[in-house]
A and B are shown apart, each in its own frame.
Chain A
Amino acid sequence: MAPAFPSGDDRADFGTGGHRQFSFHDIVLRNRLTALVVDGVDFCRLVEQGFLRSCGLETQGVNNGDAAVELIASGAKFDLIIIDMFLPVMDGLETTRRIRALGERCKIVGVSAYIGENDREAFLAAGGDVFSEKPVSPEVLIPILRELDGQYSNI
């Protein structure tokens, strides 16, 4: 790991009021968690999967809703599914509905570039659990991962 550059200027406050920014390195999972990322944009999917992996999850990614539904229908199990609302062909809402219709009870996080109250309500009504602005931040994700990790530890 490269050493921090030794300079007095390095600790400049960038206007976040001195609050420490959450990092994806802040979490240590005790259990093996798996996640599916459903995002039509390749590099966005890379970024989302990258974050999840850095938290210690095993991840898979698909670029459309049909593939996600097929995967679940074929018996693949995930602790967490992250779905972009703006997918090609079948949108995120319909994908969520179909996954729930298969009986899948795992945590589903919906992400969108725009997060209006109507969008949130529609997502929750479709069976989603958490609705977040894109890109999903450590502040949103880490508590969810801790909860999922805790569920296994409590068995």
Chain B
Amino acid sequence: MEVVQIQRRLVDYTKSLFMEGFLDGQFLQLQQLQDESNPDFVVEVVSLFFDDSEKLLNELTIALDQPNVDFKKVDGHVHQLKGSSSSIGAQRVKNVCIAFRNFCEVQNIEGCLTCLQQVKQEYYLVKNKLETLFRLEQQIVASGGSIPMIEMGF
């Protein structure tokens, strides 16, 4: 496939992620931090986010599986997940965390379990989308092209 075609695919794909709410403006800010002196910044930061989130999701699963759920602990993990997903621009994950926290506050176990399921779903979706995005970028670079900057016209 020609470089120009892959570039077009990347632009369209990136835009769709914003349109569908998977990513928000924070992700654009991250992309702006990437330059020649820091060419892998976004991939590095996002990879760390993946590691961190998977740890948190495991801990949440364990915490909610206890006979006596420690809601303070659960709230702590959700707090961290909200902070980190916001820092990447993973909007849909962040939004589930907001609902999740509300259920923690009233100690509603059913609500928490539903939110856990939802947040996992959203996390794996955005992970998948970002991995696809990075693959497209790699293809462009491997073909000798440059990654187009998306102008969002904010």
Contacts and interface: CB of A to CB of B under 8 A. Distances in A.
Contacts of B148: 2-5
Given A41-B52, A114-B101, A86 B79 contact: yes
B11 A5 contact: yes
Interface in B24-65: 25-26, 28-30, 32-33, 35, 38, 41, 44-45, 48-49, 52
A10 to B, nearest CB: 5
Contacts of A21: 25, 28, 152, 154
Contact of B18 (A14, A23, A44, A134): A14
Q: Considering residues A9, A12, A41, A47, which has the most beta carbons from chain B within 10 angstroms of its beta carbon?
A: A47
Contacts of A138: 29
A16 interface: yes
Interface residues of B, number: 41
A9 B15 contact: yes
Interface residues of A, number: 38
B119 to A, nearest CB: 14
A19 interface: yes
A13 to B, nearest CB: 6
Nearest to A42: B48
Contacts of B7: 5
Contacts of B76: 86
Interface of B: 7-8, 11, 15, 18-19, 25-26, 28-30, 32-33, 35, 38, 41, 44-45, 48-49, 52, 76, 79-80, 82-84, 86-88, 97, 101, 146-154
Interface of A: 1-5, 7, 9-14, 16, 19-21, 23-25, 41-44, 46-48, 50-51, 54, 84, 86, 112-114, 133-135, 138
8 contacts: A4-B151, A11-B153, A12-B153, A13-B153, A24-B32, A47-B88, A114-B82, A114-B101
